[in-house]
A and B are shown apart, each in its own frame.
Chain A
């Protein structure tokens, strides 16, 4: 059973109502979320451009977010039709996979009342294992977040590059597969909302040399430690402050929602700094932090901010507690600086 299983039914209902109200359109439940497993660039260009062109012909709002090389393939194939489609570089827009659902939601909101066609390719071979897991989780959450949307969503997977396990997970996260020009049900897809088990495996333990701090109300000490470690690891000051905000928001949840201390672990290598916060609380909403709260909403800003400022966030929560692992890449200095 996935960790969010207990809250599944209530959460789905709440999401449907919230999203349909936010979009100002009636609940239609006509989402078609399609996986597309391709092998060649020609096949990719033909199928993806065909999908978008069909949307343009039908008057749908069309949007494609894929890696840059694939953007060129699509634009070339669409030729004169390309200006009718909104494009985004998925390596920016979906750098943190948790950014994608709010971005697509903003697109559907902007085109409320119209059917939406969206091509999203959040999974590519050079992503880290952690990012692949989170991108796979994102694919599963599409089914929840857009359950009530009048949308056609096509997700291409490069079978020549990706591991078989990634493709197997994609078969679990897509109700339909596009095969030979037809929509066929994916046999691995479960009707009940489900996140592939690979996304919920326990996180590997922090390295033995991680710095550890137990906290409760001493959040200022938490922030000072994170800032110092982030600067020492090579983050720029603005990004160190981003990480400070993220860790402080998660630690604030410990203070507000539990009655026991939390534990912070910090470590870094040449590529990234990681802060992990563990406490006895429980987060049951699988979409937590993936909806932009109304500015005057009484809550929900904490996890929203955490996802917005971090490069990657891993969250595991069950009856024993919650672990939130926040990643920030240590970027090489810009040339000449």
Chain B
């Protein structure tokens, strides 16, 4: 079984336009290259909003965080917004200690991230 699994859904409706990336498992220095490729591909599609659902993520290290911060910068430059949703406590704590939660909005649920 892969350490990190991902899935992507794009929602285009009258009211909502967003891309939802779900991460599950553990994201660290050994697999963050694949995460980078995935996020770069999604950012290249120029979504208005890119939401990363962290609910299934048991662990994230600073290498994986850097990949997300990079995606945030790239999206920000093209006028999009990146948001994080539903981090478990260990991941939420890491986002606080690095102050990444000051750069990227973090929401308790995906619905709240969609509502912005």
**Which of A255, A298, A308 is the one whose CB lies under 8 Å from B66?**
A298
Contacts of B65 in A (CB 8 A): 301
**Which of B28, B29, B30, B97 is the one whose CB lies under 8 Å from A305?**
B97
Interface size class of B (residues with CB under 8 A): 20 to 34
**Which of A248, A295, A308 is the one whose CB lies under 8 Å from B69?**
A295
CA of A191 to CA of B100, assembled, Å: 39
From A11-19, A20-28, A217-225, the one touching the partner chain is A217-225
Contacts of A332 in B (CB 8 A): none
Interface membership of B59, Cβ < 8 A: yes
**Which of A223, A241, A255, A305 is the one whose CB lies under 8 Å from B62?**
A305
Interface membership of A293, Cβ < 8 A: yes
Contacts of B93 in A (CB 8 A): 238, 241-242
Question: Could you give, for residues 270-302 of chain A, a 1 whenever the CB lies within 8 Å of some chain B CB and a 0 otherwise?
Answer: 000000000000000000000011011011011
Minimum CB–CB distance for A316 against chain B, Å: 22
B103 touches A296 (CB 8 A): yes
Interface membership of A304, Cβ < 8 A: yes
With CB as the reference atom, state the residue of chain B lying closest to A254: B29
A252 touches B63 (CB 8 A): yes
B59 touches A248 (CB 8 A): yes
Q: A220-B3, A252-B61, A305-B62 are in contact. Are A295 and B102 (CB under 8 A)?
A: yes
Q: A295-B98, A308-B97 are in contact. Are A223 and B63 (CB under 8 A)?
A: no
A223 touches B66 (CB 8 A): no
B contact face: mostly helix, strand, loop, or mixed? helix
Interface membership of A158, Cβ < 8 A: no
A295 touches B62 (CB 8 A): no
How many residue pairs at the A-B interface have CB separations less than 8 Å?
A: 65
CA of A245 to CA of B73, assembled, Å: 25
A241 touches B90 (CB 8 A): yes
Question: Could you give, for residues 44-74 of chain B, a 1 whenever the CB lies within 8 Å of some chain A CB and a 0 otherwise?
Answer: 0000000000000001011101100100110
Interface membership of A309, Cβ < 8 A: yes
CA of A252 to CA of B59, assembled, Å: 13
A contact face: mostly helix, strand, loop, or mixed? helix
CA of A321 to CA of B61, assembled, Å: 23
Contacts of A223 in B (CB 8 A): 26, 59
Interface membership of A313, Cβ < 8 A: no
Interface membership of B89, Cβ < 8 A: yes
Interface membership of A318, Cβ < 8 A: no
From 22 to 49 in chain B, residues with beta carbon under 8 angstroms from any chain A beta carbon are 26, 28-30
**Which of B28, B72, B97 is the one whose CB lies under 8 Å from A309?**
B97
Q: A248-B28, A249-B62, A252-B28 are in contact. Are A305 and B3 (CB under 8 A)?
A: no
CA of A296 to CA of B3, assembled, Å: 25
Q: A292-B99, A295-B100, A301-B98 are in contact. Are A256 and B62 (CB under 8 A)?
A: no
Interface residues of A (CB under 8 A from B): 217, 219-220, 223, 238, 241-242, 244-245, 248-249, 252, 255-256, 292-293, 295-296, 298-299, 301-302, 304-305, 308-309
Given A220-B3, A296-B72, 9 more contacts at CB 8 Å? A220-B26, A241-B89, A244-B59, A245-B61, A255-B29, A255-B30, A295-B100, A295-B103, A301-B98
Interface residues of B (CB under 8 A from A): 3, 26, 28-30, 59, 61-63, 65-66, 69, 72-73, 89-90, 93-94, 97-100, 102-103
